Chains A and B, each alone.
Chain A
Amino acid sequence: MTSVSPSAPVKRLAPALAEGIATCMRTDPRVVVWGEDVRIGVMGPTRGLVDEFGSERVLDCPISEAAFVGAAIGAAAGGLRPVVDIMFSSFAYVAFDQFANQAGRLRYMTGGQVAIPLVIIGSAGAAGANAAQHSEVPSALFLAAGGLRVVFPSTPHQAFWLTRAAIESDDPVIVLHHPALAATRGSLEAEPLSLGDAVVEPVGRDVSVLATGLMAHRARAVAKRLAGEGMFVEVVDVCTLNPMPWNAIIASVTKTGRAVVVDEGRLTCSVASELAAGIGERAHDALRAPVRRLAVPDVPIPFAPNLEAAVVPSEEAIAAMVCEVARA
């Protein structure tokens, strides 16, 4: 974990993501931004960019996800480094051919002749009464699609550095950000994060909790609470999902012998499933209890706030499962 220095700037998460983009735009004229309402920056990641970089580099697009993602793929193949804000990541479903069959395949199908240095940003997760089509965390689908890097920062520091790493990467990278964390404050430390990194904080010894996004926040809150009761939870924030930081994950689970995977995606074929299976294969002998998954049940995200809260893993549910696993 990065040490907190008093001089580091404090930012909220969405502006930190925007600052990550701006930093790249200042040094690399090939970086352009387009997507849905990027000048206004509805969800935050592109807010203010048009003021600094102008409308030649920050372009509002029609609500035509397939076309503007496809055009970004072409522009990336043609030498630019486009950053696309698709607003809600579940809008990717409209353009999934461009994600899965195109962005994720072109380098491979051409035998490495084409690079697609493309970043697609979208919000992911339930932030209060947005219902099923604006609240999902589709990270498992992006991972399963193949050929796509995926990051899901949960702090301003992660958002800043992983966005920079995403833009500097020669691969297509999906950057997810949780709308409920947009205003989360944190310092931007000088120590960078790269694709493939995980953030282990707090360090613990009793149970490993693996989580991303809002779930990582809740896991950290649970760790803090349980520490007061003498149980030391180690939280592995899997802020990059592809490449999957297996070394950090296995190191933690090997140490604690117990793992809970928390996921805001639906349980079936979730990231939690992949992590649980991977831990089972890689660290079976170190496990002192079965790996447990806590995820959204196999239903869409409901509208009514109490129903939404009922399906998204809460701090109480995380704490309860951690205690079960600790006792097992």
Chain B
Amino acid sequence: MQWLRTMVRIRLFEQMLADLYKAGRLVGVVHLSIGQEATAVGVCSALKDGDQITSTHRGHHHMVARGLDPQKMFAEILGRAGGYCRGKGGSMHVSAPAQGAMGANGIVGGGIAHAVGLAFAAKRLGSGGISAAFFGDGAANQGVLFESLNLAALWQAPVLFVCENNGYTEFTPTDAVTAGESIAARAAPFGIPAVEVDGDDVVAVNRLAGEATARARSGRGPTFIECRTARWRGHHEGEESYAKPYREPPAAADPIDRLERVLRDAGLAADGLRAAMEAEEEAGLAAALAAAEAEPEPPPERALEDVFA
């Protein structure tokens, strides 16, 4: 039930950003994760406090799933003083290390190796924690992914490699720039257990993520999970101003509808439950957004802070 709520929250959070963008109230470039809610919730719900994730330019869903405060997220994305990163990260870099969100990364593949190092540190320090690297299908063609798989396998690092394959590498169909039939298969030669999963099935994602976290926690090293999902929006909001239409509408069913159906079939979701949840979440997010928008801009002197310790 919490999964449904979190997925609803992600959807509404992202929809509000889309509306803000359209209304000209957002600065910068924003990449929305609508349609990919199940991967974030399926994986993050298998993690514990003290575990750590690295994320991507399209990472709001990971952050909401990790339990970040929507007001501080909105504030960051709006460039306000009270944002998680004090207004210096923005949409692509929302981070909250205290909650294990170690950094969303604007460079495709940029955070993968960090997750291996986080896992190594957790193992060496005996924290019991593990890490998960979220990355997209575009990162499947970055050399650092293969280097990181090798290192993680050698070190038996407690790390999950989570590839969200949403079908598009920025503006290019992933199939057109990605050889072979499967991204997950690329992990197999390193001796890393690799699975493909319907990334819109939150139950299936969670089950596999749970197996992977158990493997990591018991010292049996990394796992690679390719979540096949769909990107419902463009690469970024506002791209229609210059990009010719290039996308097929997503064929997959709405992952939130699917979870709702599962709950309904199990007798766990009464009529009206989702609508009530949506109303509650919408009210909460609207309040968070209003509070964030009311915040001041960061003071100018802050631009020169935080470079060094």
Asked if B301 is at the interface (CB within 8 A of a chain A CB), the reply is no
In the complex, the answer to whether B125 meets A110 with C-beta atoms within 8 Å is no
Task: Please report the C-alpha to C-alpha distance between residue A171 and residue B103 in the assembled complex, in whole angstroms.
Answer: 17
Number of B residues near A (Cβ < 8 Å) is 48
Q: A108–B306 contact, CB under 8 A?
A: yes
Q: A64-B150, A67-B144, A71-B151 are in contact. Are A147 and B117 (CB under 8 A)?
A: no
B250 → A minimal CB distance (Å): 31
Ordered by A's residue number, 16 sampled pairs between the chains whose C-beta atoms are within 8 Å are A56-B124, A62-B154, A64-B150, A64-B151, A70-B110, A75-B124, A78-B52, A102-B105, A107-B309, A109-B95, A110-B84, A113-B96, A114-B95, A114-B103, A147-B307, A169-B309
Give A178 to B286 CA distance when docked, in angstroms: 59
- Write out the residue numbers on chain A whose beta carbons fall within 8 Å of the beta carbon of B89: 109-111
**How many whole Å from A284's CB to the nearest CB in chain B?**
25
Question: In chain A between 99 and 150, which residues have their CB closer than 8 angstroms to a CB of chain B?
Answer: 101-102, 106-115, 146-147, 149
A79 touches B (CB below 8 Å): yes
Of the candidates B115, B148, B306, which one forms a contact with A107 in the assembled complex, judged by CB atoms under 8 Å apart?
B306
* Cβ < 8 Å to A, chain B residues 132-161: 143-144, 147-148, 150-151, 154-155
Is B62 on the interface with A (CB-CB < 8 A)?
no
Q: Are B125 and A80 in contact (CB under 8 A)?
A: yes
Judge whether B307 and A72 touch: CB under 8 Å: no
B113, A113: Cβ atoms closer than 8 Å: no
Chain A CB within 8 A of B87 CB: yes
Q: Given that A71-B148, A80-B125 are known contacts, is A111 also in contact with B117, CB under 8 Å in the complex?
A: no
**A residues bordering B, Cβ < 8 Å?**
30, 32, 56, 59, 61-62, 64, 66-80, 82, 97-98, 101-102, 106-115, 146-147, 149, 169-171
Given contacts A109-B103, A171-B308, contact A66 B117 (CB under 8 A): no
**CB neighbours of A77 from chain B (8 A):** 97, 102-103, 114, 117-118, 121
Given A62-B147, A98-B113, answer yes or no on A74-B54 (Cβ-Cβ < 8 Å): yes
Docked complex: B66-116 residues within 8 A CB-CB of A: 83-89, 93, 95-98, 102-103, 105-107, 110, 112-116
Which residues on the A side are within 8 Å of B131 (C-beta)?
74, 78
- Contact status A71-B114, CB under 8 Å: yes
Q: A66-B143, A78-B121 are in contact. Are A171 and B151 (CB under 8 A)?
A: no
B120 at the interface (CB under 8 A from A): yes
Bound-state Cα–Cα, A237 to B59, Å: 46
Return chain B residues, CB-CB under 8 Å to A74. Answer: 54, 102, 113-121, 131
From the candidates B88, B125, B155, name the one contacting A78 in the complex (CB within 8 A).
B125
Bound Cα distance from A246 to B75, whole angstroms: 38
Q: A61-B151, A74-B102, A101-B107 are known contacts. Are A112 and B86 too (CB-CB below 8 A)?
A: yes
- CB-based contact A70/B95 at 8 Å: no
Interface centre among A71, A73, A77, A82 (most CB of B within 10 A): A71
Most B CB within 10 A of own CB, among A56, A74, A146:
A74
Check: B122 CB closer than 8 A to any chain A CB: yes
- A contact residues around B87 at 8 Å (CB): 111
Q: In the bound complex, do residue B97 and residue A97 qualify as a contact, i.e. CB atoms below 8 Å apart?
A: no
Chain A residues with CB under 8 A of B144: 66-67, 70, 97
List B contacts of A149 (CB < 8 A): 308
Option from A30, A32, A111 in Cβ contact (under 8 Å) with B84: A111
Q: Determine the distance from Cα of A281 to Cα of B125 in the docked complex, in whole angstroms.
A: 48
Given contacts A97-B107, A108-B306, A169-B309, contact A71 B116 (CB under 8 A): yes
Chain A positions within 8 Å of B84 at CB level? 110-111, 113
Instruction: Determine if A80 and B306 form an interchain contact, defined as CB atoms under 8 angstroms apart.
Output: no
Q: Is B125 touching A112 in the complex (CB atoms < 8 A)?
A: no
The residue of chain A having its C-beta at the shortest distance from the C-beta of B76 within the complex is A111
- Report A-chain residues with C-beta under 8 Å of the C-beta of B240: none
Query: Hey, which chain A residues are within 8 Å of B127, CB to CB?
Result: 79
Whether B118 lies near A78 (C-beta < 8 A) is yes
Residues of A within 8 A of B306 (CB): 107-108, 110-112
A79 CA to B123 CA, complexed, in Å: 11
Contact (A80, B95) CB under 8 Å given A66-B144, A109-B89: no
Are the CB atoms of B150 and A62 closer together than 8 Å? yes
Instruction: Identify the closest chain A residue to B112 (Cβ).
Output: A70
Known contacts A67-B148, A71-B120, A110-B93; decide if A102 and B308 are in contact (CB<8 Å). Answer: no
In the bound complex, residues from chain B placing their C-beta under 8 Å from that of A146 are 307
Shortest B185–chain A CB gap in Å is: 20
**Chain A residues in 8 Å Cβ range of B150:** 62, 64, 67
With the chains together, A107 CA to B85 CA distance in Å? 9
Question: Does B305 count as interface, using CB distance less than 8 angstroms?
Answer: yes
Q: Closest chain B residue to A113 by CB distance?
A: B97
- Write the B148-191 contact mask toward A (1 if CB under 8 angstroms, else 0): 10110011000000000000000000000000000000000000
Nearest CB in chain A: distance from B297 CB, A: 14
A156 CA to B110 CA, complexed, in Å: 36
Closest beta carbon of chain B to A80's beta carbon, Å? 5
- Within 8 Å CB of B106, what residues of A? 101
- Asked if B307 and A78 sit within 8 Å, CB to CB, the answer is no
Q: Which of A73, A97, A111, A147 contacts B308 (CB 8 A)?
A: A147
- Inter-chain contact B102/A71, CB cutoff 8 Å: no
Indicate whether A101 sits within 8 Å of B110 (C-beta atoms), given known contacts A70-B144, A146-B307. Answer: yes
Q: Which residues of B contact A109 (CB under 8 A)?
A: 85, 88-89, 93, 95, 103
Q: Shortest CB–CB separation between residue A104 and chain B, in angstroms?
A: 9
Determine how close the nearest CB of chain B comes to the CB of A195; give it in whole angstroms: 10
- Complex Cα distance A294/B83, Å? 47
A64-B151, A97-B107, A111-B87 in contact; A70/B96 too (CB < 8 A)?
no
Contact B86 A75 (CB under 8 A): no
Contact partners of B88 in chain A: CB under 8 A? 108-111
